[in-house]
Chain A
Amino acid sequence: MGSTGAGIIVAKRHFVNARRCSLVLLPLLLVLACRGGEPEARPDGEPAAARHATTITTPRVLEGLPVGPPDVTGRPTVAPCGTCHEAGEARALPADAAGIGGPHVGLELHHGAIECASCHAADDRSALHLASGATIPMTDALRLCAQCHGPQYRDYRHGAHGGMRGYWDLSRGPRERNHCVACHDPHAPAFGQFEPVSGPRDRFTVDAEPHGAPHE
């Protein structure tokens, strides 16, 4: 008895939904037919654009080694890895950065217990390799980072890690996101300490101080 009743209600609901759908669909189809498939206009008159892209910056360090002063755009001048290293290089990668010479002198590796060969491809100095052994170009480093730093990558994908600029509403404009390497040096990824921007100097801070030290 109960199940029959439920069945009737469900059937009724389907019926109502079907009717509602046709009521909604009919004017929609008419509108589409009249507009010839143009994107729907927004209330403020601007046409609704397709969703704009979210691009990830490509830090210059992924394109080569910084070798000179910044160029006119303020970005460091880099020498592509291929300038010195040929593809198919037979020389083995060192275990760590100690004693590394040439333009890389002074490079220090403070990144867990990993070695140079953990990330760099053995026979191509302008490439990296994933845990699977697959070679990827240096500019795809994000995929490599994501292999070990899963929670950070998950947060990054959901917009909850890493700086960004542009539009929250992607129907109105694009967004630009920082690459992992824009903030974290892959050879020493931990953030260091630095001086903050100066604080406010209003009467709650400056004027209050003669009466005693600020709250600790």
Chain B
Amino acid sequence: MSEDISRRRMLKAAGATLGAAAFARAVAPLAQFTESTNMEEFLTQHYRELGPEDKTRLIARLEEDTLRKYGAEVTIRDFLPQENVQFGYALNLSVCIGCRRCADACHQENNHDRRTNQSYIRVLEMEQGSMDMERGTMHYDHAVPAEGKFYMPVQCQQCENPPCTHVCPVEATWQESDGIVVVDYNWCIGCRYCEAACPYHARRFNWSAPEIPAEEINPDQGLLSNRIRPQGVVEKCTFCLHRTRDGRLPACLEACPTGARVFGNMLDPDSEIRWVLANKRVFVLKEELGTRPRFYYFFDT
């Protein structure tokens, strides 16, 4: 009998201790809420889901930050996925000439660091007759298209089964309903697991804050896309969601002089992308990995 009571007491004490610890853990963030932290920063640091008003304030703060740090007036909007839209992208390897204009357009459009000439697109020069990406080079520096070569631009494949989002320890990256994989730059802790998990080398890490002259900054910005990223976070291609969710074509497609790029809504049976998938010899990169890309490559013949 007495043994039972002591056991009960012990359990009670243990429970109380655990409860107190859990409570302390739960309220711990509040201890960090000092006068030096404003409400927006506090919210973005401790809560993933922002209400519409919080989002408006967050955007206002980001716009102010850009004006203060870069001297540029920009408009940041939160572009939401459209209903009944699943984006797909296809690239014709028979006509790509390796001019890198897509990579350059991405560089301008997405406010990339000027010093490193960063871009979400890498154009690989490959030997004709081989699909071995390991033997491709992105360092070519000669007139294109070179004899015996073909060119394969590689960017985020917006996989249906994205390995990058699965490895994120803080859920700072996820796939949206239209298929675009996005990064919350305020939530990313910069561990670069996603960069390592991506079999297409599509993610970039901001080793330093991007340097861009004020007059070159693209002021038309998306909260989850081309707004200027802070130092220490990962970024990636978003199919220019600030353009494409507005109905416009991605910047890389508009820059392509040959029309090698085809973009559209996969759910629309009359779209150009659906015609390509139905009528061309289409393949995806590294199909054996089961990533199920929404980016397709095709040849004319």
A163 B259 Cβ-Cβ under 8 A: yes
Give the residue name and chain of the B residue nearest to A209 (CB).
Answer: B139
Interface residues on A, range: 35 or more
Task: Tell me if B280 is interfacial: C-beta within 8 Å of chain A.
Answer: yes
The secondary-structure label for the interface of chain B is loop
Question: Is A15 among interface residues, defined by CB-CB distance under 8 A?
Answer: no
B276 touches A215 (CB 8 A): no
B1-9, B115-123, B179-187: which lies at the interface: B115-123
Question: From residue B139, how far is it (CB to closest CB) to chain A in Å?
Answer: 4
CB of A165 within 8 A of CB of B141, answer no
Per-residue CB contact flags for chain B residues 271-297 toward chain A (1 = under 8 Å, else 0) read 110011001100000000000000000
B168: A residues at CB distance < 8 A: none
A158 and B272 in contact (CB under 8 A), knowing A168-B249, A199-B103, A203-B207? yes
Cα distance, A207 to B62, chains bound together (Å): 32
B258-278, CB < 8 A from A: 258-259, 262-265, 271-272, 275-276
Task: Assess the A196–B83 pair: CB atoms within 8 A.
Answer: no
Min distance, Cβ A54 to any Cβ of chain B, angstroms: 11
Knowing A160-B275, A196-B144 touch, does A168 contact B244 (C-beta < 8 A)? yes
Q: How many residues of B contact A (CB 8 A)?
A: 55
Cα–Cα distance between A191 and B143 once the two chains are bound (Å)? 12
- Chain B, residue nearest A182 (CB): B257
The distance in angstroms between the C-alpha atoms of A183 and B285, with both chains bound, is: 30
Which residue of A165, A166, A205 is within 8 Å of B138 (Cβ)? A205
Contact (A197, B249) CB under 8 Å given A155-B300, A158-B275, A214-B137: no
Partner of A167, one of B100, B123, B145, B248: B248
Chain A minimum-CB-distance residue to B207: A203
Q: Within the assembled complex, what's the spacing in Å between the Cα atoms of A165 and B247?
A: 12
**A178→B119 contact, CB < 8 A:** no
User: A69-77, A120-128, A169-177: which lies at the B interface?
Assistant: A169-177
Q: Tell me which residues from 9 to 26 in chain A have a Cβ below 8 Å from any Cβ of chain B.
A: none
**Can you name 24 A-B pairs with beta carbons within 8 Å?**
A155-B300, A158-B276, A160-B92, A160-B262, A160-B280, A163-B257, A164-B259, A166-B248, A167-B249, A168-B247, A168-B248, A171-B247, A175-B249, A193-B143, A193-B146, A195-B142, A195-B144, A197-B103, A198-B141, A199-B138, A199-B140, A200-B103, A201-B117, A214-B137
Other A-B pairs, 10, CB within 8 Å; known A195-B142, A200-B103? A156-B259, A158-B279, A163-B258, A169-B247, A175-B249, A178-B259, A199-B103, A199-B139, A199-B141, A215-B137
Interface residues in chain B, defined as those with a beta carbon under 8 Å from any beta carbon in chain A: 83, 90, 92, 95, 97-101, 103-104, 115-119, 122-123, 134-146, 204, 207, 244, 246-249, 253-254, 256-259, 262-265, 271-272, 275-276, 279-280, 300
Please list the residues of chain A having a beta carbon within 8 angstroms of any beta carbon in chain B.
43, 151, 155-156, 158-169, 171-173, 175, 178, 183, 191, 193-203, 205, 214-216
| Closest 3 pairs (CB-CB, A-B) | A172-B247, A159-B272, A169-B247
